[in-house]
Amino acid sequence: MRRLSQLAGIPVTQLTGVGPKKAHGLAALGIHTVADLLMHYPRRYLDRTNQARIADLAIGDEGMVLGTVRRVQSRRTRNRRSLVEVDVGDGSAYLRCTFFNQSWRASQLKAGTNAVFFGKLEQFQGRRRMTNPVVDLVGDRTGRIVPVYPQSEKAGLTTWELGGWVEEALGRAGTFLDPVPDDVRRRYGLVDRTAAMRGIHLPESAGDHREARARLVFDELLRIQLVLVRRKRRLEASAVGVAHRFDGDLVGRFHQRLAFPLTAAQARAIAEIDGDLASPVPMHRLLQGDVGSGKTLVAVSALLVAVQGGHQGAFMAPTEVLAEQHHLGIRRLLDGLTLAAEGDNLFGERPVRVELLTSRTSASERARIGTALAGGDVDVVVGTHALIQEGLAFRSLGVAVIDEQHRFGVEQRAALRGKGTAVPDVLVMTATPIPRTAAMTVYGDLDVSVLDELPPGRTPVTTHWARTELEEAQAWAGVRAEVAAGHQAYVVCPLIEESDKLEVRSAEETFRHLGEGELAGLRLGLLHGRIAPKDKELAMDAFRAGDLDVLVATTVIEVGVDVANATVMVVLDADRFGLAQLHQLRGRVGRGRAPSWCWLLAAGEEASPDAEARLGALERTTDGFELAEIDLGLRGEGTLMGAQQKGRSDLRLASLRRDEVWVGRTRDVAFCLVDGLGGLGAHPVLVEEVALLLGADEDDAPDDRTAFLFKS
């Protein structure tokens, strides 16, 4: 019985015909050991009995054809790009494959070569054509179903060679030890690992392949869930939290004073959070909700539970602008709310004390706030994520809220983990709706509450993608009309990721242009990352007060800015922005009762298919969850898992969309195994595989940024 870890100790050079040169080629594919090789799964299968013929493929279809190269031609296009044209025939018809900027194709695809071409069939000047298809050299391999491996043409490996080595490795490996308990396998009808390994590489039928894939997907997702669930349980076991008391009336009075009733979603989230807060197990909860769903109120409610019981709260925002915004917002929410005062206070009551601490806070203020926090004279401190690094001492920090918006930093969360004395309850907020399965994967070590409902009285934002100059002119006319009606507007400047400096310059230019041109005569303000803090504040204040008609800004307004009178937004070069980001930006309008508009400017004929899909989706819907699904489909989970490097490297077959049900099932299994008799220790082979494929759990490493939270 073979373990994967044993195969991970055998270098590929032990296989027949793998000399230094081939080993080098394999290394380029990330294959060093026999285990790597066996986990290099076929990218598709060539079913010789069920082969699409060129003549059968319809224009616009994606498909795969096996054919023989008849003629190859290399030339340069007018704008100096290399172009290789390959004519392929399969007896039924001809197909022309064109490759841009892949001049090496000319030597790869010589006349007479058999290859599989996978791509979308187009019609061009009366001919069948594929542009930049994926090519797999199949050689003269026989067999009914032939696996086609992702390969490195430049490294000089063919799918044929890879297949041969895999076959040899499978033969020599024999039977695999299966780390998943029998009863779990039975429950979900999963084949054993030996069958899975054979079935993915050498399927004899589509059924074989399907079963094999299901099993390997299960393994991939289970490993990730084991890491997350173990992390969650360890944290709960290793730390003692605060069991908050609910006998005060501060939170109740806060809710009563609100000018509106809570949405059902808010009430549910608050109840879930209160449940966590009442328990001595430290809370680690994610609050997910679309822009404008009212997360702040839920967060403040949690902070007040801490304050009510004599503890303190911290609220951390990703940027200083946001910290300032939140500070204002929270003060406004708490305005007039009082608390029984200790000591000899004449009135027996005092206001809830909220302070702001950012890098702009002066040294003397900082010292004063520091002392006040240590002495318990501040109830809630608002700051940036840098609060974590500050080395501040609290008298008793009870609840920490981390507003991370769409930044998936695991670091801040890690920084709040600790050992020893009472650990604060942590609420992480994100404004990016994440599909449920993705949340379970990216944030699987947290509990999740969802605000899936917007407060009533919002009018959905009407979104137009302005593709032509005429439509662009309509956008500016729209801005003028709204301003004339007493409303306000945002103009979002082009995003320039490469350089902050260029972005600022372009924002300044946009500001000037608009002031002299399209928006001449209106009162414009400018806001970007390099404007002096004081001026930034002035601009924001002026806009809030209605002394500015239009705020021309970079993405600094992406989050947190809350001006209900702003009813129109124009985004320049909208195709440069990501879908989630545009959705965030758009959330700045439509916050009041008046109808709102969002104009996305991007020349129609220049838009890439991807940009077209993004902008089109925004025109169609304002539902953040739907957009998140679309985004996931467009970008793939790779990007989503960006922060979770380890997880990404192990998602080879599994797709969070396609394999949604398996995400939930593996999570259940992970809980069963971690919480079962003997814990994960009873499954040493699984533990070994998790360590092998996902690396050692970094949780065990001490993290000195935790210091400030535990100084109390």
Residue 207 and residue 196: Cα distance in Å, rounded? Answer: 11
**Window 297-316: contact mask with ligand ADP (x via CB under 6 A):** x-------------------
Instruction: Report the nearest approach of ligand ADP to the CB of residue 315 (Å).
Output: 12
- Within 454-473, the residues that bind ligand ADP by CB under 6 A are 455
**Window 401-440: contact mask with ligand ADP (x via CB under 6 A):** ------------------------------x---------
Residue 384 or 437: which CB sits closer to Mg ion? 384
Residue 697 and residue 681: Cα distance in Å, rounded? Answer: 15
Residue 233 and residue 216: Cα distance in Å, rounded? Answer: 25
Q: With contact defined as beta carbons under 8 Å apart, do 170 and 176 qualify?
A: no
Binding site for Mg ion (CB under 5 A): 296
Verify binding: residue 441, ligand ADP, rule CB under 6 A.
Answer: no
The SS3 call for residue 250 is helix
Amino acid identity at 273: I
10 contact partners, CB below 8 Å, separation of at least 6: 33, 34, 35
Residue 297 or 321: which CB sits closer to ligand ADP? 297
Residue 562 or 703: which CB sits closer to ligand ADP? 562
Verify binding: residue 453, ligand ADP, rule CB under 6 A.
Answer: no
Residues written for the chain = 712
Which CB contacts under 8 angstroms, 24+ apart, belong to 138-143? 138/46, 138/66, 138/114, 139/114, 140/114, 143/48
Residue 288 or 296: which CB sits closer to Mg ion? 296
Verify binding: residue 378, ligand ADP, rule CB under 6 A.
Answer: no
Which CB contacts under 8 angstroms, 24+ apart, belong to 101-109? 102/132, 103/74, 104/153, 104/154, 105/72, 105/135, 106/72, 106/74, 108/135, 108/137, 108/153, 109/69, 109/72, 109/84, 109/135
Instruction: Report the nearest approach of Mg ion to the CB of residue 287 (Å).
Output: 11
From 253, 259, 287, select the one nearest 273 (Cα to Cα): 287
Query: In DSSP terms, which residues pair with 73 in a beta bridge?
Result: 85
512 contact partners, CB below 8 Å, separation of at least 6: none
Verify binding: residue 293, ligand ADP, rule CB under 6 A.
Answer: yes
Q: Tokens for 231, please give them.
A: 């992390």
Question: 108 touches which of Mg ion, ligand ADP, none (CB within 5 to 8 A by kind)?
Answer: none
Among 108, 225, 263, 288, the residue binding ligand ADP under the rule CB under 6 A is: 263
The SS3 call for residue 370 is helix
Q: Tokens for 619, please give them.
A: 């025109």
Q: Closest-CB residue for Mg ion? A: 296
Residue 263 or 358: which CB sits closer to ligand ADP? 263
Question: 263 touches which of ligand ADP, Mg ion, none (CB within 5 to 8 A by kind)?
Answer: ligand ADP
Residue 151 or 288: which CB sits closer to ligand ADP? 288
Distance of CA 478 to the CA centre of its chain: 33
Binding piece for ligand ADP, criterion CB under 6 A, among 83-91, 203-211, 287-295, 654-662: 287-295
Instruction: Report the nearest approach of Mg ion to the CB of residue 627 (Å).
Output: 18
Verify binding: residue 289, ligand ADP, rule CB under 6 A.
Answer: yes
From 281, 321, 283, select the one nearest 302 (Cα to Cα): 283
Residue 474 or 555: which CB sits closer to Mg ion? 555
Verify binding: residue 450, ligand ADP, rule CB under 6 A.
Answer: no
Residue 296 or 308: which CB sits closer to Mg ion? 296
Verify binding: residue 292, ligand ADP, rule CB under 6 A.
Answer: yes
Verify binding: residue 273, ligand ADP, rule CB under 6 A.
Answer: no
Residue 566 or 693: which CB sits closer to ligand ADP? 566
Residue 178 and residue 344: Cα distance in Å, rounded? Answer: 70
From 292, 360, 353, select the one nearest 320 (Cα to Cα): 360
Among 100, 104, 124, 260, the residue binding ligand ADP under the rule CB under 6 A is: 260
Question: 291 touches which of ligand ADP, Mg ion, none (CB within 5 to 8 A by kind)?
Answer: ligand ADP
Residue 333 or 519: which CB sits closer to Mg ion? 333
Verify binding: residue 291, ligand ADP, rule CB under 6 A.
Answer: yes
Site residues, ligand ADP (CB under 6 A): 260, 262-263, 266, 289, 291-297, 431, 455, 562
